[in-house]
Structure 1
């Protein structure tokens, strides 16, 4: 009997050790994702694409799409931040702001810009803290929206300066987290009348769970839970508050959301649950694409869905 008890104790210790060690390394990796530098190195390509609608393209709107633009300066809490304003051609149908994802750039918004400009919208493509044309954040870390949303607030104040002014915000990847925190915390949130999301990172916990599942280790759910308990000791950010699905669920304006089932960075599940839970007008596009790849997988379907979304926005 004592031998059986001893074996049982060893099994429990081994199990706890496995979960603890695996959870530690996952938490360490998750915290590392929010450091400035590593993600950019992974996303960088040896030869940037020449197609302005491909991720990684770099060049201003005139070079990329032959569109006239102005370089404007936004006043953010950390200092001046550069943005590109592409005015509508002819009568303006509306105003929009584009927010890129982690370690991205304004140019990542050219897919959205091409669709919006064609429909008569003026578009502001912004930079935010830790971008090349914006101030660095203390600690050289990304905040999964918790720290970046005031930079979006500066953009909303610029493009919609009056209480009666309204804008559409298009946000991708971590940009979805930034916009969610803005809608939750900013006194200017009511100036956003419509939202367009692509591969939105609306739950940090879900991203951790997605990373755990891709590790192909036993008990990924328990490992992810353990990692979440350890994160407060590895990051000063209150990452338990980096959850904005409920904010978008309660958003009363029209919402567009596109996401691919093959996304290796942000899981599609929270996006699908969000779309299913909304009672306000919602246009969704589900593909098999990787992160931010839905447009490239089927441009015609993307354009049709986005056009349907724009048609739902009242002048």
Structure 2
């Protein structure tokens, strides 16, 4: 009996060791994969199409607002924490309005990604600034060479808000796509300028880094992806330079009391649509939801007319 007990105990220790080894190894793989994604350079190369689109409303198009739509614009230098960053300022027809829109693109994206919204905003007469932030071509590089998932980039958005206020705008509409949503959320959490935000528009918003990591891990076939994610998050906390466990701004979006537009496709393979579902369920403020079946940031392409209808309804709530 004693021998059998020892065998059972030994098997238990071996099994426990294998489980621990799995979680450590899987967590390390997840951590390295996410770190590579947040490292400046590789993701941008991966996302660059072999042939650039000719339609400004397609992701990957490159060219200024004049080249894209024939719109007059001004290149504006915005002072930020790391130095000046360039923005494109497109004046709207409402010369007397105190409302300006500021577009914030996603990770490894570009200002041109905001052209789908620019067309709608300009059509409504709203002046718009399409900004660049740290690690963009038109902005300073961060010292660590990594994107901060909003934990650092919000300061660049703050600089843009200050610059627009210097032009006489006292109300700001923040438009964020993908990681741009995370930047918007961190801005709401930290910036003294957040009181000037009159409305928020989000598309496939990456509001919770932990949830996104677990979602992608599960899609990649990881067993117990949520538990593996906790191991990876511990590694992020130990590695620095930013604590990505703080990259969760769901509460800020839920608590925002102004109008919110949010678009998300059920076919999103990058950001789980469950994040948006939770936001919409928990919010008490005015919310305009556009649900599509599209993949990441493809809700507009799926049905531009429907997207425009919901977005314009949202803009009307800002008047």
TM-score band (shorter)? Answer: over 0.9
Report the Cα distance in structure 2 between the residues aligned to 1:215 and 1:284, rounded to whole angstroms: 29
CA shift digits 1:119-171 (9 cap, x unpaired): 11010000111110111111111111111111111111111238981111111
Q: Which residue of 2 aligns with 1:242?
A: 247
- Once the two structures are TM-superposed, the CA of residue 236 in structure 1 deviates from its matched residue by 1.7
Q: CA RMSD in A?
A: 1.5
8 Å CA contact retained: 1:68, 1:86: yes
8 Å CA contact retained: 2:150, 2:184: yes
CA shift digits 1:283-315 (9 cap, x unpaired): 01111111111101111211111011111113x
8 Å CA contact retained: 2:236, 2:243: no
Q: Which residue of 2 aligns with 1:190?
A: 195
Q: Which residue of 1 aligns with 2:59?
A: 55
- Once the two structures are TM-superposed, the CA of residue 4 in structure 1 deviates from its matched residue by 2.2
The equivalent position to 1:160 in structure 2, one of 165, 169, 194, is 165
Consecutive aligned runs of 4 or more in structure 1 exceeding 6 Å deviation: none
Q: Which residue of 1 aligns with 2:124?
A: 119
Q: Which residue of 1 aligns with 2:288?
A: 283
The equivalent position to 2:22 in structure 1, one of 18, 27, 50, is 18
8 Å CA contact retained: 1:173, 1:201: yes
Task: Output aligned runs, 1:199-238, within 5 Å.
Answer: 199-238=204-243
Report the Cα distance in structure 2 between the residues aligned to 1:58 and 1:235, rounded to whole angstroms: 33
User: Gaps spanning 5+ residues in structure 2: where?
Assistant: none
Q: Which residue of 1 aligns with 2:88?
A: 84
- Once the two structures are TM-superposed, the CA of residue 72 in structure 1 deviates from its matched residue by 1.0
Q: Which residue of 1 aligns with 2:302?
A: 297
Q: Secondary structure at the match of 1:19?
A: helix
* Worse-superposed segment, 1-10 or 276-285: 1-10
Q: How many residues are aligned here?
A: 314
The equivalent position to 2:41 in structure 1, one of 31, 37, 40, is 37
8 Å CA contact retained: 1:92, 1:120: no
Q: Secondary structure at the match of 1:160?
A: helix
- Once the two structures are TM-superposed, the CA of residue 89 in structure 1 deviates from its matched residue by 3.1
- Once the two structures are TM-superposed, the CA of residue 73 in structure 1 deviates from its matched residue by 0.8
1:257 aligns with 2:262: yes
Report the Cα distance in structure 2 between the residues aligned to 1:50 and 1:162, rounded to whole angstroms: 33
User: Gaps spanning 5+ residues in structure 1: where?
Assistant: none
TM-score (norm. length: structure 1): 0.96
Q: Secondary structure at the match of 1:15?
A: helix
